[in-house]
Amino acid sequence: MASMENIKKENDYILEVRNLKKYYPLSRFSLGKSRAYVKAVDDVSFKIKRGTTMGLVGESGCGKTTVGRSILRLHDITGGQVIFDGQDLAKIPPSKLRKMRPQMQMIFQDPYSSLSPRMPVGEIIGEAVKEHKIVPKSEYRSHILKVMRDCGLQPQYFYRYPHEFSGGQRQRISIARAVALKPKFIICDEPLSALDVSIQAQIINLMKDLQERYGYTYLFISHDLSVVEYISDTIGVMYLGSMVEIGDKKRIFDNPMHPYTKALLSAVPISDPDVKMNRIILSGDIPSPVNPPSGCKFRTRCQHCMDICSREVPKLKEYEEGHMVACHLYSQD
Amino acid sequence: MTTEKEKITESNVNGNNGNNNIELELEHNFRVISPGRMVAKRFFKSRLSVAGLIMIIFVFLFSFVGPLIVDATWGYKENQVFKIERVSDMFTTADFTGPDGMKYTYYDKSQTVITFKAPPSKDHWLGTDTSGFDIFTRLMYGGRISLVISFIVIFLETFIGIIMGGLAGYFGDWVDLLIMRLVDIFSSLPTLPILLVLSATISSIEAIPPEHRIYYLMAFITLLGWTGVARIVRGQILMLREQEYMMAATTTGISSLHKIFRHLIPNTMPQLIVTATLGLGGVILYESTLSFLGIGVPFPRAAWGSMIALADPAKGQDILANYPNMWVPAGILIVVTVLGFSFIGDGLRDAFDPRMKR
Amino acid sequence: MGLKNFFERKKIEGVDNTMYLTLREERRISKENNRIIKYYERQKARKNVPEEEYLTQMRDPNNVVEFDNLHTYFFTDVGTVKSVNGVTFDVPIGKTVGMVGESGCGKSVTSLSLMQLVQAPTGQIVEGSIRYQAGDGKCYDIPKVPKDRMLKLRGKEISMIFQEPMTSLNPVFRIGEQMDEVILLHEEGATPEIAKERSIAMLKSVGIPMPDKIYTKYPHELSGGMRQRVMIAMALLCNPRLIIADEPTTALDVTIQAQILELLREVKERINGSIMLITHDLGVIAEMADLVVVMYAGRIIEKGTVREIFHDPKHPYTIGLMRSKPSGKLKDNRLYSIKGQVPNPINMPDHCYFLNRCDMAMDICHGEYPKMIQYSPTHFAACYLCGESSFPKNDLAKE
pLDDT at C262 over 70: yes
Could you give the residue ranges of the DSSP H alpha helices within C9-95?
23-45
pLDDT recorded at residue B21: 58
> What pLDDT score was predicted for residue A186?
93
Q: Is A83 inside a domain boundary? A: yes
Report chain A's mean pLDDT, rounded to a whole number: 84
β-pair partners for C158:
C154, C242
Nearest chain C residue to A261 by CA distance is: C255
- Amino acid, single-letter form, for residue C218: Y
ipTM of the prediction:
0.82
Please give the sequence-ordered ranges of beta strands (E in DSSP) within chain C, or none if there are none: 63-76, 79-92, 96-100, 123-133, 139-141, 158-161, 242-246, 274-279, 291-296, 299-305, 373-374, 380-381
For residue B176, which residues of chain A lie inside 8 Å, CB to CB?
none
Q: How many helices (H) and strands (E) does chain B have?
A: 15, 2
Cα end-to-end distance, chain A, whole Å: 32
Cβ–Cβ gap B244/A202 under 8 Å: no
Top pLDDT among C50 and A188 is at A188
Number of independent structural domains in chain A: 1
The per-residue b/e assignment along A221-255, b for 16 or more CB within 10 angstroms, e otherwise, is bbbbbbbbbbbbbbbbbbbbbbbbbbbbbebbbee
Chain B window 36-65: which residues touch C at a Cβ cutoff of 8 Å? 37-38, 41
What pLDDT does B30 receive? 59
Query: Which run of H or of E encompasses B89?
Result: strand B86-97
> Strand, coil or helix: what is C103?
coil
* Share of chain A residues as helix, strand and coil, in percent rounded to the nearest 5: 40, 20, 40
Range ranked top by mean pLDDT from B284-298, C52-66, C196-210, C283-297: C283-297
Whether A39 maps to a domain, the answer reads yes
**Rounded Cα distance, C25 and C27, in Å:** 5
What pLDDT score was predicted for residue C391?
A: 56
pLDDT at C302 over 50: yes
CA–CA distance, B302 with B144 (Å, rounded to integer): 9
The answer to whether A66 faces chain B, any CB pair under 8 Å, is: no
User: In the prediction, which pLDDT does C329 show?
Assistant: 57
| Strands of the A234-239 sheet, one edge to the other | A104-107, A185-189, A217-222, A53-57, A234-239, A242-248, A323-325, A317-320
In this prediction, residue A217 has a pLDDT band, given cuts at 50, 70 and 90, of very high
For residue A121, being part of any structural domain is answered with: yes
The answer to whether position A297 is within a domain reads no
Interface contact flag, B26 C20, Cβ < 8 Å: no
- Read off the pLDDT band of C32 (50, 70, 90): confident
* Residue C323, number of CB atoms within 10 A of its CB: 17
**Per-residue pLDDT, C278:** 92
**Which residues of chain A does C287 touch, with a Cβ-Cβ cutoff of 8 Å?**
269-270, 273
Q: Does residue B265 sit at the A interface (CB-CB below 8 Å)?
A: no
Q: Are A237 and A260 in contact (CB under 8 A)?
A: yes
The span from the CA of C377 to the CA of C396, in Å, is 6
B31 to chain C, any CB pair closer than 8 A? The answer is yes
Dmax (CA) for chain C in angstroms is 75
Instruction: For residues B112 and B117, give the distance between their C-alpha atoms in angstroms, rounded to a whole number.
Output: 13
Shortest distance between the Cα of B279 and any Cα of chain C, in A, equals: 27
- Is residue A318 scored above 60 in pLDDT? yes
Report which residue type is found at C284: V
Q: Which residue of B has its CA nearest to C19?
A: B31
Q: Contacts of residue B251 in chain A, CB cutoff 8 Å? A: 72, 74, 101, 104-106
C-alpha A128/C-alpha A138 separation (Å) is 16
List residues bridging with B205 in a β-sheet. none
Contact A327, A315 (CB under 8 A): no
Which residues of chain A make contact with C258, given a CB cutoff of 8 A?
266-267, 279, 281-282
Lowest mean pLDDT among A172-181, A279-288, B14-23, C22-31: B14-23
Which residue of chain A has the CA closest to B12? A202
Task: Please state whether beta strands C380-381 and C373-374 pair in parallel, antiparallel, or not at all (unpaired).
Answer: antiparallel
Instruction: State whether C310 and A273 contact (CB < 8 Å).
Output: yes
Residue B133 DSSP class = B
Q: Is B222 exposed, middle or buried (0-12, 13-18, 19+ CB in 10 A)?
A: buried
| pLDDT number for residue C10 | 46
Interface of C with A in 163-222 (CB under 8 A): none
What average pLDDT score do residues A209-230 get?
A: 89
Whole-number pLDDT of residue A161: 82
pTM of the model: 0.81
Q: How far is CA A328 from CA A240, A311, A323, B223, in A?
A: 17, 11, 15, 67
- Spatial strand order of the sheet with A37-49 comes to A37-49, A13-25, A79-84, A87-88
Q: pLDDT of A26-55, one tens digit each?
A: 765 555 555 677 888 888 999 899 889 999
The SS3 assignment for B357 reads coil
Which portions of chain B are predicted below pLDDT 70?
1-33, 354-358
Point out the residue among B19, B31, B38 whose CB comes nearest to the CB of C361: B19
Pairwise pLDDT comparison (C296 vs B22), residue with the higher score? C296
| Confidence band, pLDDT 50/70/90 cuts, at residue C54 | confident
Q: Does the structure show a pLDDT above 60 at C8?
A: no
Asked if pLDDT for residue A8 goes beyond 80, the answer is no
- Contact present, B78 and B301 (Cβ < 8 Å): yes
Cβ atoms of B129 and B326 closer than 8 Å: yes
Nearest CA in chain B to A125: B252
Find, among A187, A191, A185, the residue nearest to A173 by Cα.
A191
CATH number at residue A164: 3.40.50.300
User: Which chain C residues touch A274 with a CB distance below 8 Å?
Assistant: 307, 311
- For chain C, say whether B318 makes contact (Cβ under 8 Å): no
Which has the higher per-residue pLDDT, C54 or A10? C54
State residue A237's pLDDT score.
92
A220 pLDDT above the threshold of 90:
yes
Give the pairing of strands A13-25 and A37-49: antiparallel
Most confident by average pLDDT, A10-19, B334-343, C45-54, C187-196: B334-343
Q: Do C346 and B25 touch (CB under 8 A)?
A: no
Which candidate, C79, C29, C24, C126, places its Cα nearest to that of C347?
Answer: C79
- Rounded to a whole number of angstroms, the distance from the CA of C209 to the nearest CA of chain B is 36
Report the SS3 class of residue C375.
Answer: coil
Chain B residues close to A174, C-beta within 8 Å: 248
Which element (helix H / strand E) includes B21?
Answer: helix B20-29
Pure H helices in chain A: 2-12, 64-71, 94-100, 121-132, 140-150, 167-179, 197-214, 225-231, 249-254, 259-267, 307-311
A209 → closest Cβ in B9, B32, B244: B9
User: Residue A273 domain-assigned?
Assistant: no
**Contact indicator for B254, B245 with CB cutoff of 8 Å:** no
Backbone angles phi, psi at C247, to 5 degrees: 45, 60
Structural domain boundaries enclosing A117: 14-256
Task: Kindly provide the b/e burial profile for residues C200-231, where b requires at least 16 CB atoms within 10 angstroms of the residue's own CB.
Answer: bebbebbbbeebeebbeeebeebbbbbbbbbb
pLDDT of residue C331: 52
Q: Is A202 in Cβ contact with B9 (below 8 Å)?
A: no
Instruction: Give Cα C34 to chain centroid, integer Å.
Output: 27
List residues bridging with C73 in a β-sheet.
Answer: C82, C124
Cβ-based neighbour number of residue B69 at 10 Å: 12
Chains that touch A (3 or more CB pairs under 8 A): B, C
- Nearest Cα of chain C lies from the Cα of A116 at a distance, in angstroms, of 15
> Can you tell me the distance from the alpha carbon of B131 to that of B133, in angstroms, rounded to the nearest whole number?
6
Closest CA to C128 of C100, C88, C157: C88
Task: Please check whether residue A248 lies inside any domain of the structure.
Answer: yes
- What is the reported pLDDT for B18? 40
Q: Identify the pLDDT of residue B6.
A: 39
Low-confidence winner among A140-154, B143-157, C174-188, C325-339 (lowest mean pLDDT): C325-339
Classify B203 as helix, strand or coil: helix
Q: Are strands A317-320 and A323-325 parallel, antiparallel or unpaired?
A: antiparallel
Q: Residue C111, class by beta-carbon neighbours within 10 Å (0-12 exposed, 13-18 middle, 19+ buried)?
A: buried
Q: Would A331 be classed as within a structural domain?
A: no
**C254, C277, C295: best to mutate for the A interface, most A CBs within 10 A:** C254
Give the Cα separation of A119 and B333 in Å (integer).
41
The whole-number pLDDT of residue C171 equals: 85
